């Protein structure tokens, strides 16, 4: 118990080790995450990039231990938070971590706020629970937080209900709630996808400044490479439940190794100049109920050889920080 209340500090805040989260559905087993490993360092922003069904959101829910069970289950691997395994914690211990040391913001700010409670009450709730402050102190803190996230007239806002705020304002409130206990890690699951560009920009800048102010780490889950380029220090690219590539943001954008990462970057229309045809990755993601035995991207990959269809490549380190799951970077590669 004492270990959870004293905040032990390490360089690595979260390390996910060979995590497997499966969903057991009527139609069969869905390996939503299938052997995923990565680390979040203190003070860094790690972006997890992937399309729908890549397992990026399930990863964050697994860290929060919020996987609905059944049908979901973490079947293998470990998640360590400051060196302690989260998987062996009791539900009560998890509750003291969630919203306190690890916070989360979601894509849809309307549905993540409770419509029947005032903004002020929703922010002060977690302060009261986790920091054992009085209601009055907590409300004062809530006003500070609203100030911090750039909401004008916070004294008036705390008495308003979610429906009285615009989408951008709601997302700010969500961030205020997430920051209430000065978490060490903020998990942001598509935080700006539902917002317009000008508002998205406000929120991204806000997250950047806040990160520095309270020295937290951010795990940013998104499909938007523009947002990744804007925010991330390091990037994990996921495809069909696996990490296919990870590295620092400059390497990923300038020298992508995995054909999927390469394809994603090539298929983005440029904001700077008008090009001819867009590059398109042909085909669709494999059916999670019926995954190929070889590389999961092989069917859509322009470099694929028989080896790719027959055997799944392992993820392996290239250089210091970079890793890729592709046969192209092994001695067994004989293709073009």
Partner 1 sequence: MISGIMDPVKTKETVGNGKSEVLLSVKDLKMHFPIKGGLLGRTQGYVKAVDGVTFDIFRGETLGLVGESGCGKSTTGRALLRLLEATSGSVRFDGKDIFALSENDLRTARREMQLIFQDPFSSLNPRLSVGETLDRVLKIHGLGSKEERENRIKEILELVGLTSFHMRRYPHEFSGGQRQRIGIARALTLNPKLIVLDEPVSALDVSIQSQVVNLLEDLQEQLGLTYLFVSHGLNIVRHISDRVGVMYLGKMVELADSDTLFEEPKHPYTQALMSANPIANPRLRDKPKIILQGDVPSPINPPSGCYFHTRCPYAQPKCREEAPEFVKTGENQYVACHYPLS
Partner 2 sequence: MGIPNPSVNRPVALNVKKMTGNDYKIEGKASVIWRRYKKNKLAVVGLGVFTLMCLLAIFAPLLTPYRPDVYDIFDSYYPPGTIPESGEFHLMGTDSMGGDIWTRIVFGARISLSVALLAMICTVSVGIIYGAISGYFGGWVDNIMMRIVDAIQSIPTFFLLLIVAAIITPSLWSTVLVLSVFGWTGMARIVRGEILTLKKRDFIEAARATGEKKSATIFYHVLPNAIAPITVIATLDIASNILAESSLSFLGLGIQPPTPSWGNMLTSAQELTTVMDYVWVVIFPGLFIILTVLAVNFIGDGLRDALDPKMKD
CA distance linking residue 44 with residue 55, whole number of Å: 21
Pairing status of strand 84-85 against strand 242-248:
unpaired
Distances (CA, A) of 75 to 55, 64, 307: 15, 15, 28
Interactions with partner 1, residue window 99-138 (CB under 8 A): none
Task: Please answer whether residues 22 and 35 qualify as being in contact, where contact means their C-beta atoms are separated by less than 8 angstroms.
Answer: no
**Considering CB distances under 5 to 8 angstroms, the limit depending on partner class, which of partner 2, partner 1, none binds residue 249?**
partner 1
Does 1 bind partner 1 (CB under 8 A)? Our answer is no
Under 8 Å between Cβ of 202 and 152: no
Enumerate the H helices of the chain as residue ranges: 2-5, 56-63, 91-97, 109-112, 119-131, 135-148, 154-157, 167-179, 197-214, 225-231, 249-254, 259-267, 306-310
Contacts (CB under 8 A) with partner 1, residues 178-207: 196-202, 204-205
User: Within 260-289, which residues bind partner 2 (CB under 8 A)?
Assistant: 283-287
Give yes or no for residue 309 binding partner 2 (CB under 8 A).
yes
Question: Residue 282 CB, nearest distance to partner 2 (Å)?
Answer: 10
Minimum distance, C-beta of residue 287 to partner 1, in the bound complex (Å)? 10
Judged by CB under 8 A, does residue 299 bind partner 2?
yes
154 is a site residue for partner 1 (CB under 8 A): no
- Minimum CB separation of residue 227 from partner 1 in Å reads 5
Considering the complex, state which of residue 164 and residue 302 has its C-beta at the smaller distance from partner 2: 302
- Which tokens hold the place of 1? 């118990």
Assess 71 for contact with partner 2 (CB under 8 A).
Answer: no
Calpha distance 200→203 (Å, rounded): 5
- Block residue for tokens 């951010």: 218
Q: Footprint of partner 2 on this chain (CB under 8 A)?
A: 26-27, 283-287, 292, 298-300, 304-310
Q: Footprint of partner 1 on this chain (CB under 8 A)?
A: 51-52, 166, 168-169, 196-202, 204-205, 223-232, 249-250, 253, 263-265, 267-272, 274-275, 277-282, 284-285, 300
């Amino acid at each position: 118990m004492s270990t959870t209340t004293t905040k032990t500090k390490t360089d690595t805040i979260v390390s996910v080790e060979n995590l497997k989260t499966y969903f057991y559905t009527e139609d069969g087993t869905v390996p939503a995450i299938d052997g995923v490993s990565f680390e979040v360092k203190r003070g860094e922003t790690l972006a997890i990039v992937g399309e729908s069904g890549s397992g990026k959101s399930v990863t964050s829910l697994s860290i929060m231990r919020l996987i609905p069970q059944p049908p979901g289950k973490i079947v293998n691997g470990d998640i360590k938070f400051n060196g302690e395994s989260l998987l062996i914690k009791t539900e009560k211990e998890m509750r003291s971590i969630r919203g306190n040391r690890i916070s989360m913001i979601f894509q849809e700010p309307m549905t993540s706020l409770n419509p029947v409670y005032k903004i002020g009450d929703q922010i002060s709730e977690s302060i009261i629970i986790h920091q054992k402050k009085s209601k009055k102190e907590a409300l004062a803190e809530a006003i500070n937080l609203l100030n911090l996230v750039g909401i004008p007239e916070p004294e008036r806002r705390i008495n308003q209900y979610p429906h009285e705020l615009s989408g951008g304002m709601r997302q700010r409130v969500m961030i205020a709630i997430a920051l209430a206990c000065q978490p060490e890690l903020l998990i942001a699951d598509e935080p700006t996808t539902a917002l317009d560009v000008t508002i998205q920009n406000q929120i991204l800048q806000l997250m950047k400044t806040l990160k520095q102010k309270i020295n937290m780490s951010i795990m940013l889950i998104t499909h938007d490479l523009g947002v990744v380029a804007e925010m991330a220090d390091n990037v994990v690219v996921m495809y069909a439940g696996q990490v296919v590539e990870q590295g620092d943001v400059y390497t990923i954008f300038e020298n992508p190794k995995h054909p999927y990462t390469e394809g994603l970057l090539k298929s983005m229309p440029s904001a700077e100049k008008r090009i001819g045809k867009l590059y398109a990755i042909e085909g669709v993601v494999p059916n999670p109920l019926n995954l190929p035995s070889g590389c999961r991207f092989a069917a859509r990959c322009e470099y694929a050889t028989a080896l790719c269809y027959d055997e799944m490549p392992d993820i392996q380190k290239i250089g210091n920080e970079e890793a890729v799951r592709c046969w192209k970077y092994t001695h067994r590669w004989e293709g073009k």
